[in-house]
Amino acid sequence: MKVYHIEVIEDDGWYVGRVLDRPGVTTQGANLDELVYMLRDAIGLMWNEKNVQFELIVSPKIKGRAITPIDRSGHNRQNGRRKKSAA
């Protein structure tokens, strides 16, 4: 089983994960569970790898927050997308 090292930062209330071992996969999630789900999906699509594990390297700037359940019914918050900033 392949183990990928993931750098995790927080940006505008979202968790952003970037694979350090191979370039090409950066994704985001509303919480850490969703981030891991999105990482597995992206790695499966990009590199056709299904059985992978992650070692999350979490930025010390991220404060502990409760992990919330993911709503996969299609009615998730913000449709799973970031709000556009008012520029």
| φ, ψ (nearest 5 deg) of residue 58 | -95, 130
Grouping H, G, I as helix, E, B as strand and the rest as coil, residue 33 is helix
The tokens 């952003």 sit on which residue?
16
Query: Judging by DSSP bridges, how do beta strands 14-19 and 26-29 pair with one another?
Result: antiparallel
Considering the entire predicted model, what is its pTM? 0.70
For residue range 26-58, list pLDDT tens digits in order: 999 999 999 999 999 999 999 999 999 999 999
The predicted pLDDT at position 76 comes to: 44
CATH number of this structure's domain 2-60, picked from the four choices 3.30.70.20, 3.30.2390.10, 3.40.50.720, 1.10.490.10: 3.30.2390.10
When pLDDT is averaged across residues 12-19 and rounded to a whole number, the result is 95
Band of the pLDDT at 80, cuts 50, 70, 90? Answer: low
* Interval 7-30 mean pLDDT: 95
Q: 71 pLDDT exceeds 80? A: no
Spatial separation of the C-alpha atoms in residues 52 and 28, rounded to whole Å = 18
